[in-house]
Structure 1
């Protein structure tokens, strides 16, 4: 058994008695949440009663014996102050992102597995006004929005006969009929990205989602690919025009050497130049090396570029600190 503590995997002294013992534990876990795992369905992904996510895979797909992964979440969702104190993000970056959420800009959060995308999405959702109706769509419910009017939906896998599956795309289409002010998709993985873009372009400003990508520019390329998976033979310039008009900000999260998590970049999409999407970086984290404990160190910086959306923020009554976007170092860590 391995546990992640402070961003690093550590081997535990606790062990299972045998492979059969582990398989019995897996069967007990998944049966309590109405799922099954056996030779005909050797993989399962589910949410436990306490909100934890569990993934299990058994032989013959798991070559060396059954495998189970459990992702637990803190009792209290991390707030902006927590992320700043952990030096995961600079206060100036939070100020800008909070203003963007309040001003109903559409935000895309990208990063690798375990980089803190959902934590960041949870934190940013805290700046959504309490009177707004929010629809959330997830594969396994992880979001913990604190507003009073939240409509939560979760996908459903097929049954034993392979019937009855409800996909993210099905829920996205349904959510648009529920008069949400904002749509929050826990993670965009496929054709539901097209429905998300259409929602952002048809009055559901302030919507947010996450996806897997290594950079803010890679995130746009992945989004293009996922829209192409929707089955419509759209020219690439049409897809890019949809993205450029729908998405305002891309936030990149990463887990660096030593397990520390950082907001690596905040980029703004500025429009189209020919058939290409144009964007620029507003804030970045530059890694400068490793400290004595082998943990990545560096500096958060403002690039000195004034965002195009600043006028929109001001029109929505959002006043940011003077000099927020001046080129300078924000925090060394």
Structure 2
């Protein structure tokens, strides 16, 4: 692309951003607030936000009428090169600022609804997690020692539980403990932030012209001389390549997985890895490779999320993984 074409694209993005920010109206302060993690509009026109600083989920006094929300949805659809209509009432994508957008219109909802999950602009440290009550001091120590000793860490949680934010805190701790390490990261959507100077970010690409899966990127990663490999979220057969990488000279990594407790998270890694082969892998290969599982969940009261358990994986017996809790909620 020529300089003039780049300049033109920059101007188009600038104009769209100005339009988008004006259409956000009363939501703009929340979009600009680094302590806000997510903003959503329900079909009843009420707006809710989730804070990272301990306030948790908060219902605002803002209501957005369908005329305004429809305008915003169609503007975002245009930017994403998509349409949102009665025949195609769901809109998903990544905004230019890195935020994830999910929106719906009738007939699948009564009125327009959407979620804006912001890309983290602030990295919280493990010390800040302790100060806010999300981590106990002993839990912080366990995670820090695991990073220092090059253990593989699985961050487990449900949707919106803060898995990515916690992984960013782990990366921040890694930069402090091992600043000269080389980190290769793989994500669907750019969310992880690595302060380590020597790092590479790979992104899954599924477009009309490009089709590069996470599985392919993991194989590419092995040729990039990584010391540690970090994956934004494992959702499929790429787990098999990740386990191999972690167990053959690249320990000390991290990844996230969607599950309702630590044991289920480990089981999902095993199940996903089996999707890549005929038959089944030895479950001991999982228990030997995934050294630590950290489960974080949302809470209805302040601080809004909490690390509920940290477990080590001690083997596999009677069809399930044996996990031993190191710390539980409330320990200090």
Superposition TM-score, scaled by structure 1 size: 0.76
Alpha-carbon spacing, 1:92–1:226, altered in 2? closer, same or farther (3 Å)? same
DSSP-derived class of the 2:173 partner:
coil
The equivalences for 1:40-59 within 5 A come to 43-58=90-105
Cα deviation, 1:182-207, whole Å, max 9, x if unaligned, reads 11111111111112111111211011
2: CA distance, partners of 1:275 / 1:63: 41
Alpha-carbon spacing, 1:165–1:37, altered in 2? closer, same or farther (3 Å)? farther
DSSP-derived class of the 1:13 partner:
strand
Residue in 2 aligned with 1:253?
A: 296
**Deviation for aligned residue 1:274:** 7.3
Question: Is residue 3 from structure 1 mapped to residue 48 from structure 2 by the alignment?
Answer: yes
Which residue, 189, 192, 212 being the options, matches 1:140?
189
Question: Is residue 15 from structure 1 mapped to residue 64 from structure 2 by the alignment?
Answer: yes
DSSP-derived class of the 1:143 partner:
coil
Question: Is residue 210 from structure 1 mapped to residue 259 from structure 2 by the alignment?
Answer: no
Residue in 2 aligned with 1:223?
A: 269
1: CA distance, partners of 2:205 / 2:235: 15
Q: Is the 8 A contact 1:110 1:212 kept in 2?
A: yes
Residue in 1 aligned with 2:15?
A: none
Cα deviation, 1:80-110, whole Å, max 9, x if unaligned, reads 1211111011112111211111211001011
Q: Is the 8 A contact 2:123 2:172 kept in 1?
A: no
DSSP-derived class of the 1:120 partner:
helix
2: CA distance, partners of 1:150 / 1:168: 17
The equivalences for 1:27-176 within 5 A come to 27-32=74-79, 34-38=80-84, 43-58=90-105, 62-73=108-119, 75-128=121-174, 129-159=178-208, 164-176=210-222
Residue in 1 aligned with 2:312?
A: 268
Q: Is the 8 A contact 2:156 2:163 kept in 1?
A: yes
Q: Is the 8 A contact 2:267 2:321 kept in 1?
A: no
Q: Is the 8 A contact 1:46 1:140 kept in 2?
A: no
Cα deviation, 1:227-272, whole Å, max 9, x if unaligned, reads 2333x2223xx34122112100011101122362110001011234
**Deviation for aligned residue 1:35:** 4.1
Cα deviation, 1:260-296, whole Å, max 9, x if unaligned, reads 21100010112345765332111011xxxxxxxxxxx
| Deviating 4+ runs (over 6 angstroms) | none
2: CA distance, partners of 1:156 / 1:44: 18
2: CA distance, partners of 1:38 / 1:157: 20
Alpha-carbon spacing, 1:140–1:57, altered in 2? closer, same or farther (3 Å)? farther
**Deviation for aligned residue 1:30:** 4.5
**Deviation for aligned residue 1:17:** 4.9
Segments of structure 2 that go 5 or more residues without pairing to the other structure are 1-40, 42-46
Q: Is the 8 A contact 1:115 1:261 kept in 2?
A: yes
Moved more, 1-10 or 248-257: 1-10
Residue in 2 aligned with 1:189?
A: 235
**Deviation for aligned residue 1:209:** 0.5
